[in-house]
A and B are shown apart, each in its own frame.
Chain A
């Protein structure tokens, strides 16, 4: 399965849109691949999954949330083909085995058409007594794998978490294992306090300050000296509002020194 997944991945990151820069792609990947906090990780005891060992994985909804947060609602879609067949379990009971092949596309809707910039292909399977459960399990399994190809929940496939921690509804008891009497499921939840908004100037503001500084003939040291004199800190540590004011004042100075009005660097990114 691993080799199949890898081969899918190698051919799957096919950019179809030329409008996105590598830098933008890199940023999207970094955001998608950010590790999930502890509360997103579901831990399941081995006696529930029937595997005989404890597993942990990232919940389906957290994967979907990450895609929505990074790409926006409508910024991704999945196509699936699910095949189901009836099987007999080792204990003779009938069950349904579903296999889902999914194509996860990242892109955006343009004039009613979904324009794709990357896609991944993955498959997943699940066995359950009810066909609906088998379909659902196979889909979420494949979906998580496809998302991991874009980095989302990649921990599950790097060995630190398990790729499929969905409990089977009728686990096969390993030999010589005690039969559980009261299975429980443990989910660790840690509340996350939202961080306060940041006040530091933006990279764009800094770039504007540096650009105007150069026009005024100020080198790195000179610009630092001016910023320190006015605000007490180096340009990299101005606040957004200080940077905004500094850009305005430097721009005015640049224009006053005879520069063409068109050369004025507009304030950016405030």
Chain B
């Protein structure tokens, strides 16, 4: 599968879109002002390490056609997690509690055990066509057809072939199973479907594999549908976000997420200084 080069020019991503929708102020601090984050959220580092292990598993499957041993996944995960733990940014969880890296490693390993067993059963009839497949797709205004200067860039976790159809698979680690609404409205599968057509993958199926961090981890496999209306919504969201950023929209969304925000240190509300009146 030919891999497109990442463009030098302007681009956006589904992560950027989601960031803006979550909190325009966070978007401004992170992407526009280029503020350095104060810490690395544990969930983010954990997700990266898990993704690395999943990618290693599927790469081995692609190269050899055989499922690698569980130990290989665990080693990959440990390495990635250690790198994150020892990186320049301190780890921090949502509650600002000290991070028990050992407990996190154990949790990751128990999740990988379940995931490994799941893949062993679920690969029947599927072949791995691509792992960590980057894409670049042109975005356009759905009303005028105008092609935007910003290209949509991203990486598909996994592209499987099942019969004559390709399936794009996205992996998630989550505290619990995704709700029906999350599955129905998440932007990421829509973006993948949209991009897949442009990079020549055709009309792909979409699958989410959510591995839960519950006491007994489970793998939630959900095949989701996205149609022309979803694609239209996606484009409107992308265009809307870019226009809003352009127009300087950067209001803060104060709430529970602020406590775990990497950019909270730079997000002090500007308040006018009040003069004392005698």
A residues with a Cβ closer than 8 A to B are: 26-27, 30-32, 34-35, 37, 66, 69-70, 155, 158, 160, 192, 195-196, 198-204, 206-207, 210, 224, 228, 232-234, 236-237
Contact = CB atoms under 8 A, between A and B. Distances in A.
B152 to A, nearest CB: 11
B8 interface: yes
23 contacts: A30-B138, A30-B147, A31-B140, A31-B147, A35-B231, A35-B235, A37-B142, A69-B144, A69-B145, A70-B145, A155-B228, A158-B228, A160-B227, A195-B141, A195-B243, A201-B10, A202-B149, A206-B8, A207-B8, A228-B33, A233-B34, A234-B31, A236-B10
Contact of B34 (A34, A69, A160, A228): A228
A200 B10 contact: yes
Contacts of A203: 7-10, 149-150
A26 B145 contact: no
B146 interface: yes
B138 A196 contact: no
B9 A35 contact: no
Given A34-B141, A160-B227, A234-B32, 17 more contacts: A27-B147, A31-B146, A34-B140, A35-B228, A35-B231, A35-B232, A66-B145, A70-B145, A160-B228, A195-B141, A195-B144, A198-B246, A200-B10, A203-B149, A210-B8, A233-B32, A236-B31
Contacts of A37: 142-143
Interface in B146-182: 146-147, 149-150
Contacts of B9: 203-204, 206-207
B198 interface: yes
Given A160-B228, A200-B246, A207-B8, A237 B31 contact: yes
B254 interface: no
B232 to A, nearest CB: 5
Interface in B88-106: none
A233 B246 CA distance: 12
Contacts of A155: 228
Contact of B243 (A160, A198, A201): A198
A198 B229 CA distance: 25
A202 B246 CA distance: 12
B142 A34 contact: yes
B140 A237 contact: no
